[in-house]
């Protein structure tokens, strides 16, 4: 057993380093490590049963963390676009995937599993790629993150249903009702415990980092045990345990401590999946067709849905690439199906192979999305409506106006000051809440991403008087500076770091706002006034308190964003 673990860890680590060097997700390294060590090649692992048991812990820890990160407030905030796109993509992908699988000669049950597996995209991989590209806060990044969240909720529901089938009993209306009642009871117990049991327990144990870790793991295992006793899978118990911990103030600290465990044990799951892969030339045609469906068909479905909702072809194209691979949830669902005897090892191997191909290719598609867009832009107009959501709000083509990019917190203060000076202002933002506020206050706006050249053209950048960006993203601001210089339009941008400010000045920015340094300068001014007249602090406090109440009424809660 120790020998097997040593070999798996070393080989998976070496391959992970190689794949990381070539900017590929490490999940591919683990699957290929399993294929190399499996019975079809080197046959290095002797005790697959024990490795299988340990790999289940990896899935349990994965769902435990998902439960902590998925709260229902997030579902409320995904937005109409993400909700419609997420559900629409699931429905259409599942339908077309099922039909294609039937045409390829698979049985109805096999086709159903394949269709479901092709439906989900990898939240972990996409979030990582978006973060590396600094696109998490872009319009397409927010939409993609939203519909991936919708996918995750649906995947969890499917896993719950599969755990019902795991009892081995014939599914009847009575059994279904009984199972749903037990499941609802477990869910209520999780929610109730998060409110009445866990807060006092963790308030005591959180004083010790060791106890915090042990109590968290024990709570997860308690739900795993109870869930198993009631006929559900251990993974569902772990997920419910995670949901119960989500509202606690310690959940981020707990998550940080559990992640190393998840990362190690989930390696065993993917390595084991790779070991079980078998492939024959008969599956080559289905592999190519299904891979192309995920790489091309899924993005086409999302682009169509987003086009109907009124988004620009650029936004739709970038968001759609997030669906061009299958998810770790897809592989977990397929593993469940194999364990239940619903699908063969060949079908499991086929879906896993589709995962390897699509994850590898889609990583480069997302990384080089700008270059791909330039290539395909001429033919993407078919996905764009005449009346665009991203153009609404501009009643006339402004001239000699001031363009403000980002109207939340600092941006709102700037816009408010310009309004008092009776200046023509045009705001560009991609936050739906901000757009509703601008619409209510009758401030000209454009809903969209500032790095979209079409948006800047519609904003009439060449005839503007000044551009002010409150976004701290260095790449977006470099783009703005370069575009503004083409038309000799002054531009003020924002940076969080001195090195970014220096770079922006070097390429031609007229002024760079450094919020943290401005805050320090303001504080020095306040200290000078206080030392001259100690009583002045009370007047300053009352003015500041009044100001804070006004900003909170506007919904400006967090100080670190624009």
**pLDDT reading at 358 higher than 70:** yes
- What pLDDT, on a 0 to 100 scale, did the predictor assign at position 388? 66
**DSSP, res 390:** G
Mean pLDDT of the chain: 86
Distance CA 217, CA 64 (A): 10
Q: What is the mean pLDDT of residues 51-55?
A: 88
**pLDDT reading at 152 higher than 90:** no
Full DSSP string of 466-481: EEEE----HHHHHHHH
Residues listed for the chain: 562
Going through 359-416 in order, the beta strands assigned E by DSSP cover 402-405
Residues whose CB falls within 8 Å of the CB of residue 494, separated by 6 or more in sequence, listed in order? 410, 469, 470, 471, 472, 477, 512, 513, 514, 515, 562
Q: What is the pLDDT of residues 303-324, one digit of tens each?
A: 999 999 888 888 899 999 999 9
Comparing 312 with 223, the larger pLDDT belongs to 223
**pLDDT reading at 168 higher than 80:** no
Question: Same CATH topology for 2-381 and 394-553?
Answer: no
Task: Pick one of 1.10.340.30, 1.10.630.10, 1.20.1530.20, 2.40.160.50 as the CATH number of 2-381.
Answer: 1.20.1530.20
Question: Could you tell me the residue ranges of all domains in the chain?
Answer: 2-381, 394-553
- Residue 403 burial (C-beta neighbours within 10 Å; 0-12, 13-18, 19+): buried
Q: What is the mean pLDDT of residues 128-151?
A: 84
For the sheet containing 425-429, what is the strand order? 445-447, 425-429, 402-405, 466-469, 491-494, 511-513
Q: Which fold has domain 394-553?
A: Rossmann fold (3.40.50)
pLDDT band at 512 (very low <50, low <70, confident <90, very high): very high
């Amino acid at each position: 057993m120790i020998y097997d673990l040593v070999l798996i860890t070393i080989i998976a680590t070496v391959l992970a380093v190689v794949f990381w060097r070539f900017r590929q997700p490490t999940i591919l390294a683990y699957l290929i490590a399993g294929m190399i060590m499996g019975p079809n090649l080197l046959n290095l692992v002797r005790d697959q049963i024990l490795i299988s048991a340990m790999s289940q812990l990896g899935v349990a820890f994965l769902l435990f963390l998902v439960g902590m990160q998925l709260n229902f407030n997030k579902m409320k905030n995904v937005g109409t676009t993400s909700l419609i796109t997420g559900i629409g993509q699931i429905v259409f992908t599942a339908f077309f995937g099922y039909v294609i699988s039937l045409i390829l000669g698979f049985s109805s049950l096999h086709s159903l599993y394949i269709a479901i597996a092709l439906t989900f995209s990898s939240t972990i991989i996409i979030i990582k790629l978006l973060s590396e590209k600094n696109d998490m806060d872009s319009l397409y990044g927010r939409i993609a993150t939203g519909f991936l969240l919708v996918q995750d909720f649906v995947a969890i529901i499917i896993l719950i249903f599969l755990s019902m089938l795991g009892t081995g009993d014939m599914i009847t209306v009575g059994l279904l009702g009984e199972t749903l009642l037990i499941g609802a009871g477990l869910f209520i117990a999780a929610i109730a415990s998060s409110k009445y049991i866990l807060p006092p327990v963790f308030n005591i144990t959180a004083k010790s980092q060791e106890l915090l870790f042990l109590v968290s793991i024990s709570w997860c295992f308690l739900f795993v045990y109870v869930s198993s006793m009631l006929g559900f899978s251990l993974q569902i118990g772990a997920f419910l345990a995670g949901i119960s911990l989500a509202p606690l103030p310690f959940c981020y600290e707990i998550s940080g401590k559990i992640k190393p465990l998840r990362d190690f044990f989930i390696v065993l799951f993917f390595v084991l999946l790779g070991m079980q892969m078998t492939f024959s030339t008969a599956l080559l045609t289905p592999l190519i067709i299904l891979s192309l469906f995920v790489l091309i068909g899924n993005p086409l479905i999302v682009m169509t849905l987003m086009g109907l909702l009124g988004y620009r072809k650029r936004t739709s194209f970038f968001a759609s690439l997030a669906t061009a691979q299958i998810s770790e949830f897809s592989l977990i669902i397929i593993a469940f199906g194999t364990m239940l005897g619903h699908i063969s090892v060949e079908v499991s191997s086929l879906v896993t192979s589709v995962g390897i191909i699509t994850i590898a290719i889609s990583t480069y598609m997302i990384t080089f999305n700008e270059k791909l867009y330039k290539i395909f832009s001429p033919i993407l107009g078919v996905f764009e409506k005449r009346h665009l959501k991203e153009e609404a709000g501009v009643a006339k083509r402004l001239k000699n106006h001031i363009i403000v990019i980002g109207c939340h917190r600092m941006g709102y203060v700037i816009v408010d000051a310009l309004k008092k000076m009776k200046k023509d202002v045009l705001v560009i933002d991609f936050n739906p809440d901000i757009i509703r506020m601008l619409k209510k206050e009758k401030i000209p706006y454009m809903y969209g991403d500032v790095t979209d050249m079409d948006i800047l053209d519609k904003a009439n950048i060449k005839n503007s008087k000044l551009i002010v960006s409150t976004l701290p993203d260095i790449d977006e601001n470099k783009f703005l500076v370069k575009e503004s210089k083409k038309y000799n339009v002054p531009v003020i941008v924002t940076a969080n770091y001195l090195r970014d400010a220096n770079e922006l000045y070097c390429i031609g920015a007229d002024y760079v706002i450094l919020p943290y340094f401005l805050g320090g300068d303001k504080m020095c001014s306040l200290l000078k006034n206080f030392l001259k007249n100690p009583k002045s602090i009370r007047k300053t406090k009352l003015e500041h308190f009044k100001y804070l109440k006004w900003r909170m009424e506007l919904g400006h809660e967090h100080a670190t964003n624009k």
